[in-house]
Amino acid sequence: MAQQPQAVQEETRILVWDIPTRIFHWLLVLCFVIAYLTSESERWQLWHVTSGYVFGALLLFRMLWGVVGSRYARFSQFVRGPRQVLAYLRSLLTKSPEHFTGHNPAGALAIVGILSLGLLTVLTGWASFNDYGDWIGELHEGIVNVLLIIIGVHIVGVLVSSVLHRENLARAMINGHKRGVAVEAIRYPQWIVGVLLLAGLITFLWALLSGELPWLMP
Ligand code: HEM
Ligand code: HEM
């Protein structure tokens, strides 16, 4: 590749996370917290099941966005094999850890785990809610416990990477901006997809609560 002129290589503040990815993340956290806190009591079951289904709808959206979304939201951009994950983790022990503009390979591994176990959680929750047997309820709880561990690792990973790279990653997931060279920025924040995502979620919530989806809410 041709050498870029110095000015082009200079690091500035660039847009990395589009609006739909940010809406997805923080609504996912909110739904998870509500579903978890309401899981133990019958009284809160409507809240548990509803927040759980919205959690599932968000995951389905993210699967799609991982294929057609903007640069750093695509799975092909951040899902890496075990060798690259190890190489990244080893680089964290050195003075100049490898810096990634999008997700780092170790973080990506946790993300794949959260997306897949998240979907299994919703599937087993649905089966348990529809009385497919007590064991399904146990499985549902077991999967959630593994998911909790991965989420714990995810949060610690975010904190550790933020310190080592001297970059507030949680803030980047809020305002969308990270450090990088101008050519690496995404061009569009994708506002329209963000609005469509919210509209889709509100419609789904309305259909769920007004009894239009009996196969989900008998
Ligand atoms: C308050 C706690 C949390 C914070 C501060 C946080 C922060 C972050 C940050 C900074 C990223 C981007 C990582 C990167 O820069 O590579 C991220 C990604 C992600 N986090 Fe969290 N997270 C939290 C809780 C959670 C929870 C509870 C879940 C799951 C239920 C979750 C699921 C994800 C997923 C799936 C991604 C990938 C985002 C995407 O590319 O769409 N996070 N998180
Ligand atoms: C973010 C998603 C979810 C999380 C974190 C979650 C978490 C949990 C947890 C921790 C329990 C065990 C509670 C206990 O101590 O007894 C539980 C039970 C249950 N969940 Fe979920 N859940 C989620 C989604 C769902 C969904 C989408 C449904 C149904 C549509 C569902 C239906 C149920 C039912 C029926 C039980 C009782 C199971 C039994 O006692 O056998 N959950 N959930």
In whole numbers, what is the pLDDT of the chain averaged over residues?
95
* DSSP letter, residue 40: S
pLDDT tens per residue across span 9-59 = 788 999 999 999 999 999 999 999 999 999 999 999 999 999 999 999 999
Q: Among the atoms of ligand 1, which is closest to the Cα of residue 24?
A: 41
Q: What is the DSSP string of 178-211?
A: EEEEGGGS-S---HHHHHHHHHHHHHHHHHHHTT
Proportion of the chain above pLDDT 90, given as a percent = 91
Distance CA 119, CA 28 (A): 12
Q: Give the ligand at the shortest distance from the Cα of 24.
A: 1
pLDDT tens per residue across span 1-18 = 455 566 567 889 999 999
Does 114 contact ligand 1 (Cβ within 6 A)? yes
